[in-house]
Amino acid sequence: MPGCRLPAIAGLSLTLAVSLAATDTAAEAAGTASLAETKPGAVSLGTEATARSTLPRTTRSRMPLADKSAFRMKPARLKAGSDGVAGVSSDAGDLSVPQAFGRAKAPYTTARVAVAKRGQSDTRARTPVTSYPYRATGKVYARFGQDWFVCTASLVKKGVLITAGHCVFHYGEKQDGWADEVLWVPANEDKDGGVYGTWEWEDAYVLTPYFDGTDTCAQTGVVCNNDLATIVLKTKDGRHVGETVGWYDYAWNGYSYKRFKPFGNTVVQITQLGYPAAFDEGYQMIRTDAVGWFTKDGKLKNTQIGSAQTGGSSGGPWLVNLGARPKIDASEASLGRKTRQAVIGVTSYGSNTVGFNRQGASYFGRNTEFPKPNYGGYGAGNIGKLMQDTCTAHASHC
C-alpha cells in the first residue's frame, strides 16, 4: 500500500477562540511558489414492498411546532452515567451510520459514501460516489523519488484542484521540495480507480511561507497557517475534467461559521470527504459530518473537527452545505443563512494517538502572512492569494 501524507501530532494545544474578529496587521509574505517556476517541464432494496397504484397527494405534517421560547433552555452538562449506561440497538447491523466521539470527546459521524446495499443505481439520486457533488472529490497519488503517497483533493475550478500543501511539497525545502509526479482519480471506487479515469498534473502552487519554511506553525511544518496547494490538471482531448464531474465553490473568512453560546466559541457544521488508507484499503470515499470549531493561538489560525479519518484523507475538502439544494416552500421553511456549498478548508493534520480522532485544517482567509481582504477578486487571505496566482497563470483552467 502506498504511504500516507498526513502529519500527526501528539496532542492539540490550540486555544479556542470566541470570535473571528481579530485584526491582522503583519506584513504579507511574498505570495506563492509554482512547480513550473522551480522545475520547468515537470510535470437492491431486498424484497419489494406492496405496490400502490398512486400515492397520497399531501404535504401535511404531524410534527409538533413550538414557539421560540421552547428553545431558550439553558445549556446543561449530561454527566456520564447519570441516565444509565449508554447503548445502541444492533438491528441495523453494519448498515447503520456510526455517530461517535473519540477520546478527544469531539462528536462526529464517519461513514462510507457508497451505499451499503445497492438499489437501482441508474439515477443521480441513487449513485452517490459517481454523482455530483461527490465526484468532484478524488484520490491523489503523489510520487516523491521512488516512493508513492496517497492524499485527497477536490476541484474548485474546472481544471484546478485544492489540496494540502504537504501532499505535493516537502515543507520548507524550496526547489527541492516538489513531488516528482501527481495523479488524480475523481470518484475513485476500487484499486483500479474510477469511471472518470486518471488525470495528470500540469503545474502546482504552494504559498511562499510554506515553500521556504517560514510559515506560522505549532510544530515545524505541522499545524500551520498555510498548508494549502493547488494542482493544475492537464486536459484530455481539449476538455477539462471539471466539465464532466463539476467543481465546488470555495469560501473564506469564516463563511458559515457562527458564534454559538452553548459551545462557547465559534463553530461551523462541516462535511469532510477523504480517502483514508485505514478504511476500505483507501479505495472508497469516506464522509465525516462534524461540528467544527475555530481555533486561534497567537498568530496561528486553524479549524478543527472530530473525525476518525486517517492518513490518505489529507487534502480532502471540508465543505459547508454539501449536497443537492432542495426546492422549498419559502412560506413554510428556510434554509437559513450562508447556504452556498463551498470548501472552507482541507484536511491538514491528525493525531498520532489511535482513537484520539481529531483533525485540523488551515483556516481559509486572512492571516498574518496574507492579511489582504481581496486578492484580485479571488478572495481574502491565503486562499485568495493562492487562487489569484494559480488562475492568473492558468486562466483557461479557471
CATH number for 249: 2.40.10.120
Q: Are strands 265-274 and 258-260 parallel, antiparallel or unpaired?
A: antiparallel
Residue 306, strand partner residues: 358
In a domain, 93, yes or no: no
How many helices and strands, by DSSP H and E, does the chain display? 4, 22
In a domain, 103, yes or no: no
Peptide bond connecting 133 to the previous residue in cis, omega within 30 degrees of 0: yes
Quickly count: other Cβ atoms within 10 Å of residue 259's Cβ: 16
CA nearest to 221, candidates 202, 231, 203, 206: 206
Model pTM score: 0.79
Task: Tally the C-alpha atoms within 13 A of residue 173's C-alpha that lie toward its C-beta.
Answer: 12
In a domain, 148, yes or no: yes
Range of the domain at 278: 3-36+119-326+335-397
3-state class of 387 per DSSP?
helix
- Judged against a pLDDT cut of 90, whether residue 335 lies above it is answered with no
Residue 286, strand partner residues: 112, 274
In a domain, 257, yes or no: yes
pLDDT tens per residue across span 2-52: 566 666 554 333 322 222 333 333 444 458 877 655 433 222 112 223 333
In a domain, 54, yes or no: no
In a domain, 84, yes or no: no
Number of domains in the chain: 1
In a domain, 68, yes or no: no
pLDDT tens per residue across span 38-90: 433 222 112 223 333 332 233 333 333 333 433 233 333 323 443 333 333 23
In a domain, 77, yes or no: no
Phi (first) and psi of residue 386, to 5 degrees: -60, -45
